[in-house]
Structure 1
Amino acid sequence: MSHDPNCIFCKIVAGQIPSKKAFEDEDLIVFHDIQPWAPVHVLIVPKLHIVSHADLGPEHQSLAGKMMVLAPKLMRDLGVSGGFRTLINTGRDGGQEVMHLHMHVMGGPRPWAKG
């Protein structure tokens, strides 16, 4: 599996940096954001180091689909019932801060309205 030794998310995947995990399987790790924008804010991160959404190819179709299908299940499991928001920032101009593909999933009252 591809890994970037300088990537903070790769270090979380490898267990070198602790995180508050919400889910993990052979393909994905999900952990709570350390600077949440909503009452429930998790990041769905592939264990495979893919730089951004723009770098997804046909070979990643099932992985990307798995991320999308996991989001509503996680929100239900975490007690979110009134709706949620998914967000994938892509590239520097798209607001991506960590250059490892990840999906923000935010739930709770008005998760898009950062105070």
Structure 2
Amino acid sequence: MTEDFYCDEVLCGKTQVEKVLETENVLAYHHTKPFYPVHIVAIPKKHISSLITLEGSDDELVLELLGVIRKVAAMVTEEKGACRVITNIGDYQDSKHLHWHIVSGKPLS
């Protein structure tokens, strides 16, 4: 896996994705290798390494990102009855680009 799958593959168009919601600065799409029956990833289009590397200048982008996550979570919850919103940090974070998972259902085997 690349250090930053989202910049190196998704945002530059090398890996095609099924978009769920897109704004000027944020993209939410169906995970390319889902771990759950419903597995959507939301990412900022600007490279930010992780939640703990956010800077004050990222405040507007974070609000936009959270707005997209909220909308996607509401859509999933309306359709499936529940969802989880997850982000990983440190060794748990495979791709070093801030991203959130919106998931529903039991983990796939």
Larger RCO, structure (CA 8 Å, separation 6 or more): 2
Question: 1:53 maps to which residue?
Answer: 51
Question: 1:44 maps to which residue?
Answer: 42
Question: 1:17 maps to which residue?
Answer: 15
Question: 1:86 maps to which residue?
Answer: 85
Structure 1 residue 81 displacement after superposition:
4.5
- More divergent stretch after superposition (26-35 vs 61-70): 61-70
Structure 1 pair 83–16 and aligned structure 2 pair: CA distance change class (3 A): same
Q: 2:69 corresponds to which letter in structure 1?
A: A
Q: Which runs of 5 or more structure 2 residues have no equivalent in the other structure? A: none
Structure 1 residue 114 displacement after superposition:
5.2
Q: 1:82 corresponds to which letter in structure 2?
A: G
TM-score normalised by structure 1 residue count: 0.77
Q: Which runs of 5 or more structure 1 residues have no equivalent in the other structure? A: 1-5
Q: Is the 8 A contact 1:75 1:81 kept in 2?
A: no
Secondary structure at 1:68's aligned position in 2?
A: helix
Distance 2:80 2:70 in 1: 10
> Cα deviation per residue 1:24-75 (whole Å; 9 max; x = unaligned)?
2210111111232322111101110111111101111122222222223113
Q: Is the 8 A contact 2:10 2:16 kept in 1?
A: yes
Alignment root-mean-square deviation, CA: 2.1
Distance 1:15 1:34 in 2: 13
Give the count of matched residue pairs. Answer: 105
Question: 2:24 maps to which residue?
Answer: 26
Q: 2:16 corresponds to which letter in structure 1?
A: P
- More divergent stretch after superposition (13-22 vs 72-81): 72-81
Q: Is the 8 A contact 1:43 1:104 kept in 2?
A: yes
